[in-house]
Amino acid sequence: MKRIRTLLMAVALAPLSALAADYPNKDKPVTIVVPFAAGGPTDRVARDLAEAMRKPLGALSVVIDNVGGAGGTLGAAKAARSAPDGHTVFLHHIGMATSPALYRKLPYDTMGDFEYLGMVNDVPMTLIGRNTLPANNFKELQTWINANKGKINLGNAGLGAASHLCGLLFQSALKTDMTTVPYKGTAPAMNDLMGGQIDLMCDQTTNTTSQIEAKTIKAFAVTTQKRLTTPSLKDLPTLDESGLKGFEVTIWHGLYAPKGTPPDVLAKISNALKVALKDPEFIKKQQALGAVVVTDKRIEPAEHRKFVQAEIDKWGPIIKAAGVYAD
């Protein structure tokens, strides 16, 4: 009886093992879905990660599919509906945990539609403005904001984006309302900020550091609890020390696969991710952009899942208290 059951199990599991043994398919690229526009901060992390993961994964190539729009939720929905064969993975940030509170209805189930593969990094945000703003530090910016109530444009990557969350908390801390201008990602928003079409934005250092260094935009503060150590950012004050007590937003990225991806395939991807996170070249590139590569237990899929649940529990009440929803 036991032998029959073992045989039956072996037959049932055969397609899975065969899939894992053949994974990755030597003729097919592995695609990382990025839920924002090309050239932006999430895209930047994804492209560096793609390069670092290709070899340990043994993939033909690792390519990026930018699916921007609706604060990252369109990309998440596309990733959730992709074939669960390991050839599509999904990189997302804190929006994975904030969108469930920001949207009355999501086109996917955050905890139910994905396999959790491990976290990638933590990234601070910066409060930045167009170069022509008549303010050179946070205090002067506050004076300008107070003098221009109702006239200020704040760019973001749509409802559910990190820039949206940060901008929301910023407006609420200052008790002011700005006109938000949504883009498919902060790459196009950055173009408009540099061109002076919008006034302000919150964005990850992975997108802002090079512009701050090139002085094409102004930087006023960082959103982390402590000041940063990146040479070009270390003189920026925190928003907390600038008077917005308790202000703290750190963006994290994690890697996911569609629900139903076979366990052996998931293990292969997760192991390749771990190798990538120890790649000195990847670490160096991320550090130069102010990002900190994950080394703690969140590198493990189960801890990644727990962390996202904890973030959902943390941000839900904050967002509800702010009273903002998308439909």
- Does residue 185 bind ligand ASP (CB under 6 A)? yes
Contacts of 319 (CB under 8 A, 6+ apart): 98, 101, 102, 165, 168
| Widest pairwise Cα distance in the chain | 82
Which residue, 129 or 185, has its beta carbon nearer to ligand ASP? 185
Residue the block writes with tokens 């760019």: 155
Question: For the residues of 216-229, what is the DSSP string, one character each?
Answer: SEEEEEE-SSS---
Site string for ligand ASP, 8-37 (x = CB under 6 A): ----------------------------xx
Q: How far is the CB of 200 from ligand ASP (least distance, A)?
A: 13
Q: Are 196 and 79 in contact (CB under 8 A)?
A: no
Q: How far is the CB of 308 from ligand ASP (least distance, A)?
A: 16
Q: Do residues 186 and 146 lie in contact, with contact meaning Cβ atoms separated by under 8 Å?
A: no
Kindly list the distances between the CA atom of residue 17 and the CA atoms of 20, 60, 277, 307, in Å, as whole numbers in the listed order.
5, 20, 27, 30
Q: Which of 126, 204, 208, 270 binds ligand ASP (CB under 6 A)?
A: 204
| Of residues 144-163, those binding ligand ASP (CB under 6 A) | 156-157, 161-163
Interface pattern 34-53 for ligand ASP (x via CB under 6 A): --xx--xxxx----------
Assess contact for 218 and 193: CB atoms under 8 A. Answer: no
- Residues 6 or more apart from 124 whose CB is under 8 A from it? 204, 205, 222, 223, 224, 228, 233, 250, 251, 290, 291
Residue closer to ligand ASP (CB basis): 278 or 314: 314
Based on the shown chain and the rule CB under 6 A, indicate whether residue 203 belongs to the binding site for ligand ASP: yes
Of the pair 59, 97, the CB lying nearest ligand ASP is at: 97
* CB closer to ligand ASP, 218 vs 268: 218
The distance of closest approach from Cβ of residue 16 to ligand ASP in the complex, given in angstroms and rounded to an integer, is 34
Q: Please state the φ and ψ torsions of residue 311, each to the nearest 5 degrees.
A: -70, -35
Nearest approach in angstroms of CB 194 to ligand ASP is 15
Residue 98 makes contact with ligand ASP by CB under 6 A: no
Binding site for ligand ASP (CB under 6 A): 36-37, 40-43, 95, 156-157, 161-163, 185-187, 203-204
